[in-house]
């Protein structure tokens, strides 16, 4: 009796497990940390990123600025989440990233950090927070890690920031370098222009990337350079990955700004941007439908409202009207 009974349980158990509507493991236990119906992922580390470079696996980096965008990076498999200072423009409406303060950046980092756990989490050090000497730079980077909850900081600059990169790295703060087009310097550059288009400038960008790897950077963003230069710099790196934005297909990874990917950015579109979603269209549809439904009183309907027992309503009416001297119904 008993063996037959238990073997029947086991066979039905197996059937359940192999049923297509029960993906393996999820049925076994409910994991409270699961978000958006996706199983939790392995933590991405610097070691992992360098292994991806060695194995030729493209690294995906995407910006996030708040809890929901951070959660999307977490749920859908982004390798590196970047709280970019582009948030100044795409989230806060400033005309330049140079307007962003450290406190504003920290506020957004905290929101992203609460959601984005598995991707490696990096944030831009805002303009001016690594320019006024070693002590200030370390203090500000420590705030990014301690208060912002980020794992690494990104710094724009070439040879002139190599000492800064070395210092932070030695303190145990991983640094992502950023060469080529450096948006924090758009005024000096007279705009957002492709960098390294002539041999001399291309050499400058290459030397910067090499020096920053030597200084201990764990990765380097290469922005808006000719694609052959992006490839050359990638091959010139000894171990650290290059993450390109407008640097061609030969970099070890790619990064784009969230709003450019989703189609929510209203400003000019750089040549390197590809839109992968039409969230702006979806937002327009949602806002317009909401307004229309309110105006024609089709929202809310009964299912979207709360009821009350008839007897309580009658009692309420009687007492309310007595209290108000029967002045209204
Ligand atoms: N939405 C958004 N996407 C970004 O990539 C981004 C920001 N904002 N804000 C901060 C910086 C600014 N960046 C930019 C902004 C504009 C161009 C741009 O329009 N470049 C010209 C280059 C023209 C030339 O050099 O001749 C282009 O047409 O691509 C590039 C990078 C990158 N970052
Ligand atoms: C585009 C990336 C590299 C960036 O620096 C930002 O979003 O601020
Ligand atoms: Mg930036």
Residue 213 in any domain: the answer is yes
Rg (CA), the chain: 27
The tens digit of pLDDT for each residue in 213-260 reads: 999 999 999 999 999 999 999 999 999 999 999 999 999 999 999 999
Asked if residue 305 is part of any domain, the answer here is: yes
Atom of ligand 2 nearest to the CA of 85: 8
Residue nearest to atom 4 of ligand 2 (CA): 84
Give start and end residues of each alpha helix (H) in the chain.
2-18, 46-55, 67-76, 87-90, 102-115, 134-146, 162-170, 199-214, 227-236, 258-262, 279-295, 310-323
Residue 327's pLDDT is what?
58
pLDDT tens by residue, the chain, 329 residues = 344 444 434 443 443 344 444 444 444 444 445 557 777 889 999 999 999 999 999 999 999 999 999 999 999 999 999 999 999 999 999 999 999 999 999 999 999 999 999 999 999 999 999 999 999 999 999 999 999 999 999 999 999 999 999 999 999 999 999 999 999 999 999 999 999 999 999 999 999 999 999 999 999 999 999 999 999 999 999 999 999 999 999 999 999 999 999 999 989 899 999 999 999 999 999 999 999 999 999 999 999 999 999 999 999 999 999 999 865 55
Q: Which of 192, 197, 260, 272 to mutate to test the pocket of ligand 1 (most atoms within 8 A of CB)?
A: 192
- Residues 240 and 185 occupy one common structural domain: yes
Ligand 1 pocket, residues with Cβ under 6 angstroms: 86, 89-90, 97, 181, 183, 192-194, 224, 257, 259-260, 265, 268, 270-271
Give me the residue label for tokens 């209204």: 328
Asked if the structure places residue 26 within a domain, the reply is no
Output b/e per residue, 21-53; b: 16+ Cβ within 10 A.
eeeeeeeeeeeeeeeeeeeeeeebebeebbebb
| Domain co-membership, 258 together with 313 | no
User: Do residue 96 and residue 181 come from a single domain?
Assistant: yes
Of the candidates 305, 300, 280, the residue with the CA atom closest to the CA atom of residue 290? 300
Assess whether 292 and 266 both reside in one domain. no
Say yes or no: CB of residue 63 within 6 Å of ligand 2: yes
CATH code for position 63: 3.20.20.60
Residues 6+ apart with CB under 8 A from 252: 52, 53, 58, 59, 234, 241, 242, 243
27 in any annotated domain: no
Q: Provide the 8-state DSSP code for 303.
A: G
Residue 188 and residue 171 in one domain: yes
Nearest atom, ligand 1, residue 260 CA: 1
In terms of domains, do 272 and 313 share one? no
Same domain for 171 and 195? yes
State the residue range of the domain holding 303: 283-323
Q: Whose CA is nearest to atom 12 of ligand 1?
A: 183
- Cα within 13 Å of Cα(134), Cβ side: 10
Going from the Cα of 47 to the center of ligand 1, the distance in angstroms, rounded, reads: 30
Structure tokens at 94: 């400033």
Residue 184: what pLDDT?
Answer: 98
- Predicted confidence at residue 40, as pLDDT, reads 80
Burial class (CB in 10 A: 0-12, 13-18, 19+), 107: middle
Ligand 1, pocket-test mutation among 69, 123, 183, most atoms within 8 A of CB: 183
The SS3 assignment for 251 reads: coil
Asked whether residue 117 is assigned to any structural domain, the reply reads: yes
Cβ burial of 258 (10 Å; 0-12, 13-18, 19+) is buried
**Pocket probe mutation, ligand 2, options 80, 85, 100, 112, max atoms within 8 Å of Cβ:** 85
Instruction: Give me the DSSP letters along 45-81.
Output: -HHHHHHHHHHTPPEEEEE--SHHHHHHHHHHT-SEE
Ligand 2 close to Cβ of residue 86 (< 6 A): yes
Torsion of CA 244, 248, 250, 252, to 10 degrees: 10
Q: Relative to the alpha carbon of 127, which ligand is closest?
A: 3
Which amino acid residue places its CA nearest to atom 31 of ligand 1? 192
Q: Is the distance from the beta carbon of residue 84 to the nearest atom of ligand 2 less than 6 Å? A: yes
153-202 per-position pLDDT tens digit = 999 999 999 999 999 999 999 999 999 999 999 999 999 999 999 999 99
Q: Token digits for 228?
A: 């052959």
Helix-helix angle 67-76:102-115, to 10 degrees? 40
| Residue 175 near residue 154 (C-beta atoms within 8 A) | yes
Cis peptide before 134 (omega within 30 of 0): no
Selecting among 135, 156, 223, 282, the annotated active-site residue is 223
CA of 124 to the centre of ligand 2 (A): 7
Q: Does 140 reside within a domain?
A: yes
Could you give the C-alpha distances from 219 to 12, 75, 177, in angstroms and in order?
51, 23, 6
* Statement to judge: residues 233 and 304 lie in one domain: no
What is the model's pLDDT at position 26?
Answer: 46
Task: Report strand pairing: 219-223 vs 152-156.
Answer: unpaired
Query: How many domains does the structure of the chain reveal?
Result: 2
This complex has an ipTM of: 0.98
Domain match, 220 and 318 both: no
Supply the pTM of this predicted model: 0.89
Whether the CB-CB separation of 109 and 150 falls below 8 Å is answered with yes
């Amino acid at each position: 009796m008993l063996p037959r009974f238990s073997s029947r349980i086991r066979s039905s158990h197996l059937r359940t497990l192999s049923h297509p509507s029960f993906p393996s493991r999820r049925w076994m236990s409910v994991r409270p940390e699961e978000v958006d119906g996706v199983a939790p992922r392995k933590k991405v580390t610097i070691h992992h990123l360098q292994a991806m470079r060695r194995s030729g696996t493209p690294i995906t980096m995407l910006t996030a600025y708040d809890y929901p965008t951070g959660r999307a990076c977490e749920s859908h498999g982004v390798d590196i989440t970047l709280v970019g200072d582009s948030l100044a423009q795409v989230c806060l409406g400033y005309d330049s990233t140079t307007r962003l303060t450290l406190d504003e950046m920290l506020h957004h980092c905290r929101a992203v950090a609460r959601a984005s756990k598995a991707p490696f989490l990096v944030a831009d050090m805002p303009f001016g927070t690594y320019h006024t000497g070693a002590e200030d730079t370390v203090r500000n980077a420590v705030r990014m890690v301690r208060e912002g909850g980020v794992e690494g900081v990104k710094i724009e600059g070439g040879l002139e920031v190599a000492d800064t990169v070395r210092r932070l790295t030695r303190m145990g703060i991983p640094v992502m370098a950023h060469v080529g087009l450096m948006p924090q310097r758009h005024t000096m550059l007279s705009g957002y222009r492709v960098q390294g288009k002539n041999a001399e400038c291309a050499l400058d960008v290459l030397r910067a990337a090499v020096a920053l790897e030597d200084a201990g950077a764990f990765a380097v963003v290469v922005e808006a350079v000719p694609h052959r230069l992006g490839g050359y710099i990638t091959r010139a790196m000894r171990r650290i990955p290059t993450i390109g934005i407008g640097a061609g297909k030969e970099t070890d990874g790619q990064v784009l700004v969230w709003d450019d990917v989703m189609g929510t950015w209203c400003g000019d579109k750089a040549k390197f941007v590809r839109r992968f979603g039409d969230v702006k269209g979806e937002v327009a549809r949602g806002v317009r439908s909401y307004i229309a439904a309110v105006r024609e009183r089709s929202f809310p309907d009964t299912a979207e409202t709360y009821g009350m027992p008839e007897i309580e309503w009658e009692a309420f009416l009687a007492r309310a009207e007595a209290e108000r001297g029967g002045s209204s119904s």
